[in-house]
Amino acid sequence: LMHGAGQWGSMRFFFEGNTAVFQEKFDPREAWELIEREKLTNIMMTGDAMGRPLIEALAQLDAEREVDLSSLFVIASSAVVFSQSVKDQFLERLPNVMLFDSIGSTETGQNGMIAVSKDDKMTAGGPTVAASPEAVVLDENLARVAPGSGVVGRLARGGHIPLRYHNDPEKSAATFVVGADGNRYAVAGDNVILEADGNITLLGRDSVCINSGGEKIFTEEVEAIVKAHPDVYDAIIVGVPDERWGQRVAAVAQARPGTTVTLEDIDAHCRQSLAGYKVPRELHLVDHVDRSEAGKPNYRWAKAVATGQPH
């Protein structure tokens, strides 16, 4: 509840006079049992970190008995990457639900949302969402990017935004800016492309972007492809030092039980969907990929694993 996603996902139902159900600790099997027992209509989760264990726990339950999920009609995700491969599994098992994928920041509200159907597929760069009325894309000079220009810009939000972070002038100056048009915007650090139809294609965040030989590689894009490999359960992508290119792409991955995955497997799989310079050059297998309780990837931990540092 410290994040906007949890607040919006519960308070809207409180305000409407409905019931909100919370798990004390996330347990995917118990979640489906709660939905079934309480006849829940909506669930809110954080991308693959919750989505993947949820859909796999449902498959296990289905093998044991008939699960009554007839009350459920909305599944909403926010805050982290929700891979197309995981979305496909949800839509295959629950073809009649409305699946929403949204982005935004707690400080500034929602920047974009899309309802995902069974026929939707990820774009070459990343997922594409419908921009909110206040969302714009700014270039390096804080000027608004024209739709369809192909320029990689930063997602920003105007309208009713905060004045500053409390007692943090440096972060305030970086986040809350005045654009070339004289309007104030909140810039959270998401790199995007503004498409000709006004939608926005998500690429990744500045803070974890990899620079290899001058080419920007967005970790979220590579993670989504790596996690689509049938023998990979979870993965985090990081940049590690490279004498020639400055950085190279490394994958820290958790294989599915009973499987073996190699760098050659990952290479062949990724080259079907990614440019060669984005393909992982290293693979570090771990027993468990470390994530925060909110499901966000622990990039500091993953980089320590990839570089052989204590963690």
Q: From residue 54, how far is each of 10, 75, 97, 115, 119 by CA, in Å?
A: 20, 12, 15, 19, 21
Q: Say what the pLDDT of residue 118 is.
A: 47
Q: Say what the pLDDT of residue 113 is.
A: 58
Q: Say what the pLDDT of residue 191 is.
A: 86
Q: What does the alpha-carbon distance between residue 134 and residue 75 come to, in Å, rounded to a whole number? A: 24
Q: Do residues 199 and 193 touch, judged by C-beta distance below 8 A?
A: no
Q: In degrees rounded to 5, what are phi and psi of residue 237? A: -105, 135
> Which residues of the chain have a pLDDT value below 50?
117-118, 121-125
Q: Say what the pLDDT of residue 84 is.
A: 79
Burial tier of 122 (Cβ tally within 10 Å: 0-12, 13-18, 19+) = buried
Task: Transcribe 153-221 into DSSP letters.
Answer: EEEEE-SS--S--TT-HHHHHHHEEE-TTS-EEEEEEEEEEE-TTS-EEEEEEGGG-EEETTEEE-HHH
Q: Say what the pLDDT of residue 85 is.
A: 81
Q: Say what the pLDDT of residue 104 is.
A: 72
Q: Residues with Cβ < 8 Å from 124, sequence gap 6 or more?
A: none
Please report, rounded to a whole number, the percentage of residues in the chain having pLDDT higher than 90. 59
Q: Say what the pLDDT of residue 208 is.
A: 87
Q: Say what the pLDDT of residue 124 is.
A: 43
